[in-house]
Structure 1
Amino acid sequence: MRTLFLYLIFFLIASTVVQANPKTFYLKNGDTITGDVLSYDRSTGVYKVQASFGVIDIKDSDIAKQNLRVTLKTGDILTGIFIERNDTNYNIQTSFGDISLLISDIDRVDIIEETKKLPTKASAWVFSNEEIMDLYSDPTGFTMKKNTLYISGLSWGYSPTDTFQLTTRYWDAISSGDLNLRSKWMIFKGGSLDHRKAFSIGSHIHMGGYPSNKLVYQKVDNDDDEESYYRWESIGESDDVEASLWGSLFAAYTQSSLNKGKIGRLAKTIGSEITFYRNYPIMIRSYAGISYDLRKDLKLLSIISYDPYWGSIQSDQDITLPIHLDLGFIYAYNEHLRVGIHFQRYFFTIYYKF
């Protein structure tokens, strides 16, 4: 009780001298310091900061400066040099002065240019701005930004708005005549820069082919006197009936949060997809996954899924456990090009955003 009373007295005294707010400073050497600013000497450019390990001085010249593009929920866009952030505000230096923006009013913040070469440490960047639209082949709750065009090794897509996108697997059309279109609509997006969430629904319509990613372990009869055997094969692959209209429906919810220290993001996704194909039973796939910023240019992706029709054409044994795990990485070569690798097929991923 006595300790609580002393803290209260200290707070009241400090409030009469300076308004102490927790602020995070990102330094050029890669250090990240969070604490209350006790004072700022404009003549020397020195902050006096009450950190968890004591009172320290931080010079203006030691603070890493980065150019930001801040998009507000109203649609307004501001650019400027990052100064600092606290629990409620982002402070940036713009061409018309220093501006303090409420985090609750911000939709997204992008790093558009580094004003000075910084160390390649994770603590040298303020946050990550990448919102992944898929965990490899499984949708997340987010969609691409408006007027974004992307192309990968197997598909391409376009987003006419911030909440709706269309994609198609052009390789399926080339290899098997399967004209297909996947639409995704983000019906909800909320939260703040620190904690945002999104929910999307969509469909994938096919006008030919068969669900090559859905496998079944079934008996194969030999015409000769040899014994019959079992193997994995794609559903519909050996059907004599010509291809017809089929497709799937999906829904996904994603929650993305800034990590401790406001460096990088952790996004958690849950979703489900239902596939309909001719006279086969409804095929359900449910999944949960994460994407985690290891560095400014490197993401870790991990997915666990329930899918009784996810087999392996390389295996000659029946796999009865319908639980599957995938783990991989996505590397941002530059602002537009992404490459990745993971354990499940198709093993490699590459895509380019315009």
Structure 2
Amino acid sequence: MIREMKELTESRCVTGYLEQAKEVLRIEAEAVKTIAEELDDSFARAVELILNCSGRIVVTGMGKSGLIGRKIAATLASTGTPSFFLHPGEAVHGDLGMVTPSDIVIAISSSGEVDEVLAILPTLKIIGTPIISITGNRDSSLAQNSDLVLMVQVEKEACPLGLAPTASTTATLALGDALAVVLLKTRNFTPEDFALYHPGGSLGRKLLLTVDKLMHTGEMNPVIPLDKTVKDAVIVMTSHGNHGAAVIVGERGRLAGIITDGDLRRILKNHDNPLTLPVERVMTRNPRSIGPEKLAAEAMHVMEAKNITVLPVIDTEGVAIGIIHLHDIIKGLTGMKP
């Protein structure tokens, strides 16, 4: 009996915990949805202002807003927008010297009335640094002294006491991510750029993989001369790694063309005796290729743009020294096992 009561109590506790957690997530999700729906031209103007900034983006905020600001600054910096976080308490004791007229300050405060943040505004006005505020109070001192105001006004916090910043900080963080992603896309920030700023992490190391680390060479390189037939191409394709292509080479092994699985299907459909055809007659001439020193991410970009799955790898003389498949790149970048 006691055991049954204990199990019942534990079951009710688990149910209660889950219901409370789901309610928190629902409130915070609703806050983000509301911010998205109410986004206005101020956001677009903020993007343009940042794009035209010749200095850095200085993010500041106190308490929980400061913690969110640190993350926003880090995300901006890692995605092509030079940025750093400035603690307002340290700023009023000399660190404002880091800020220049060429910079832009993003000041975060839900109430817009935090003393430490307001204390740096006069100096910023004297310096002439533009101020973008992220706040939930358009009538606040911070908003009134900003060049642009991005509103993050939530109906209620997930905290049942209404005191701990929860939904408001989540919405602010999401807005910061939106800024960073829009800027990233507008700047045409590439995987190679991302890897440049993340050389120490596993992601950076993977993105910095070069074609020569992943390509197939030697016996696994499906190469045949120009004077061979489609039958020879099929044999090479199936016996040299099954990459779905045969690379056709001319004089001194220079790349001349390629025949892929798709080409074979078309050849079989359109010719009565396809296996006896010379490869030179049916190959794709001057196919896209890549150098061994190029990033694997660049090879993937070429394949996706051209809707192909393989690339011949050539040296500086145009010699077909290898082949790389889209699957090889995916495995290399994601760490998947072959």
Interval of TM-score (by shorter of Structure 1 and Structure 2)? under 0.3
Which one scores higher on RCO, CA 8 angstroms, separation ≥ 6? Answer: 2
Larger Rg: 2
